[in-house]
Each structure stands twice: as structure tokens, then as C-alpha cells.
């Protein structure tokens, strides 16, 4: 998700407003895919930027290098009351959170290297997440297409909070206790933008994530993959 937010680049000094829908397949057992309406507010300044669920401050910014302090909303959560599985209903809630950290992007003719490192600042998981990706942008007239591949690292605390089962939960639910370690998950993503009228832009962003064994082996999970799809339209002032 964070990488998709970073893909929403804009010209300095521009403000874009719009609306979109976020679809995220739920990795948890017996949970339905989530569809969430998301207002789109994008602002790109010389030092500060805001991209819907993410905000940041540039420490270094030129055509080649972009180093920033970032904070963003991480929507992953689990609500026992929403589950259709009787065992899962007896687990504790896992809350969404706010992550903050550093982001760095290196741009060259052969593509871009994007890196992110962040930690939970609300003391929900006390976890850390790292991300590195390679992307290449194709431009033609009024559209652009940016495919990319990358890998995400989740710390032990991050995995344990969202996918682990402690002994008390195991006794209540009947599920086996589970204590995952840290993990790496590869992914592929694609971002597309199309300017269909002056100041109007349509966008679509998708990511497919192959879940790591530390996540797939959790009794809470019944999928081998997850991802996100975000699409909408914006008006630039």
C-alpha cells in the first residue's frame, strides 16, 4: 500500500482532489474482501506532500534523489465480530495503525529504486516494515504506465500481532497457538494514469503479494496471496 501511495507523484505546487475505491482481499479465514471508498487529496509542495493516506516532508529532493520523512495509515485489521468462523470469533481484535519512517527514491533513465522503512507509532503491533522495489515508467501523450517488482519485510512483532495466536487465544478459540518470526514477501505492482480531459485524471493502482510462509502458516490465514486495487479520478487545480 505504501508503495502505491508513493507512486502518486505530482508537479510541485499542485493540488488534486477526487474520489476512489480501495479493494483489499482479506487474508484472514472466512473474511470477505473489503471495498472502501477513499477521498483523494494530493498536494505536492517543495518541502511537504500529502497523498490521501500518506503525508511527508522532504529532507532531500531533486530530479535524481528524494529522501523524506513519512507517516501513513495502515488499514490492515481484524475484527472478530465480522468473521463467519466460530473459532476466529474468539480471537482478540487486531487494529489498524499509523506507521512512520523514512522513504528514499533514486530516479535514473533505467528506472527507479524505491525504498521505505517504517514503524508502528500507535503501539498496536510495535512492528517494523521495510520495502524495496524497482519500477519503470512508460509515458505516451496523456497516459503513463508504471510496472514494478519488489519485496516487503515484516518484523517479528508485526507478524505476531496480525497473524500470531497467543496461548490465551488458543484456549478460547480451539486454534493452535502460533508465534511467527519475521518474513519477506515478494510482490508485483502496476500503476496507470490517464488524463482524459484538461485537469481531469483517472488512475488505477494494483499490487499482488505472495504471502510469506510465516504468514501463510498462521491458523488465522487461509490464503497464499493478498493485494490491493485502488482506482478513481482526480481534478487538478
Residue with more model confidence, 234 or 25: 234
* pLDDT score recorded for residue 7: 55
User: Above 70 in pLDDT, residue 12?
Assistant: no
User: Above 70 in pLDDT, residue 11?
Assistant: no
* pLDDT score recorded for residue 10: 55
* pLDDT score recorded for residue 132: 98
* pLDDT score recorded for residue 78: 94
* pLDDT score recorded for residue 150: 98
Across the chain, what does the average pLDDT equal?
93
User: Above 80 in pLDDT, residue 4?
Assistant: no
**Distances from the Cα of 191 to the Cαs of 143, 173, 231, in angstroms?**
11, 40, 10
User: Above 70 in pLDDT, residue 8?
Assistant: no
Mean pLDDT, residues 19-40 taken together: 87
* pLDDT score recorded for residue 117: 98
* pLDDT score recorded for residue 25: 85
Residue 75 has which C-alpha cell?
A: 488499514
**What burial class does residue 210 get, using C-beta atoms within 10 Å of its C-beta: 0-12 exposed, 13-18 middle, 19+ buried?**
middle
User: Above 90 in pLDDT, residue 43?
Assistant: yes
What one-character DSSP code corresponds to residue 94? B
Mean pLDDT, residues 87-93 taken together: 96
pLDDT in tens, 133-183: 999 999 999 999 999 999 999 999 999 999 999 999 999 999 999 999 999
- Cα 105 to chain centroid distance, Å, stands at 16
Mean pLDDT, residues 118-134 taken together: 98
Cα torsion through 123, 40, 208, 180, rounded to 10:
10
Q: How many residues does the chain have?
A: 237
Domains of the chain by residue range: 2-236
Residue ranges of alpha helices (H) inside the chain are 2-6, 156-163, 167-173, 213-216
**Rounded-to-integer distance, Cα 31 and Cα 94, Å:** 14
Q: State what percent of residues in the chain have pLDDT above 70.
A: 94
pLDDT in tens, 199-221: 999 999 999 999 999 999 999 99
Structurally, what CATH architecture does the domain formed by 2-236 represent? Beta Barrel (2.40)
Residue ranges of alpha helices (H) inside 78-142 are none
Q: How many CA atoms lie within 13 A of 25 on its CB side?
A: 15
User: Above 70 in pLDDT, residue 125?
Assistant: yes
For the chain, the C-alpha Rg in angstroms (whole number) is 19
**Rounded-to-integer distance, Cα 28 and Cα 17, Å:** 33
* pLDDT score recorded for residue 5: 58
Q: Are 157 and 165 in contact (CB under 8 A)?
A: no
Amino acid at each position: 500500500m505504501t508503495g502505491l501511495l508513493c507512486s502518486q507523484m505530482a508537479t510541485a505546487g499542485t493540488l488534486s482532489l477526487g474520489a476512489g475505491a480501495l479493494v483489499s482481499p482479506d487474508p484472514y479465514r472466512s473474511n470477505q474482501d473489503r471495498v472502501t471508498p477513499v477521498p483523494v487529496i494530493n498536494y505536492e509542495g517543495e518541502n511537504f506532500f500529502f497523498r490521501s493516506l500518506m503525508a511527508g516532508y522532504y529532507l532531500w529532493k531533486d530530479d535524481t534523489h528524494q529522501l523524506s520523512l513519512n507517516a501513513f495509515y495502515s488499514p490492515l485489521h481484524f475484527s472478530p465480530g465480522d468473521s463467519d468462523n466460530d473459532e476466529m470469533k474468539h480471537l482478540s481484535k487486531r487494529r489498524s495503525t499509523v506507521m512512520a519512517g523514512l522513504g528514499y527514491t533514486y530516479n535514473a533513465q533505467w528506472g527507479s529504486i524505491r525504498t521505505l522503512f517504517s514503524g508502528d507509532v500507535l503501539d498496536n503491533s510495535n512492528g517494523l516494515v521495510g520495502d524495496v522495489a524497482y519500477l519503470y515508467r512508460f509515458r505516451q501523450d496523456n497516459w503513463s504506465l508504471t510496472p514494478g517488482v519488489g519485496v516487503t519485510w515484516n518484523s517479528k512483532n508485526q507478524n505476531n500481532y496480525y497473524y500470531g495466536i497467543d496461548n490465551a487465544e488458543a484456549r478460547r478459540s480451539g486454534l493452535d497457538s502460533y508465534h511467527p518470526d519475521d518474513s519477506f514477501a515478494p510482490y508485483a505492482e502496476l500503476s496507470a494514469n490517464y488524463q482524459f480531459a484538461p485537469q481531469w485524471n483517472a488512475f488505477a493502482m494494483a499490487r499482488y503479494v505472495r504471502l510469506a510462509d510465516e504468514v501463510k502458516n498462521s491458523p488465522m490465514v487461509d490464503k497464499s496471496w493478498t493485494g490491493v486495487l485502488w482506482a478513481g479520478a482526480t481534478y487538478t487545480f
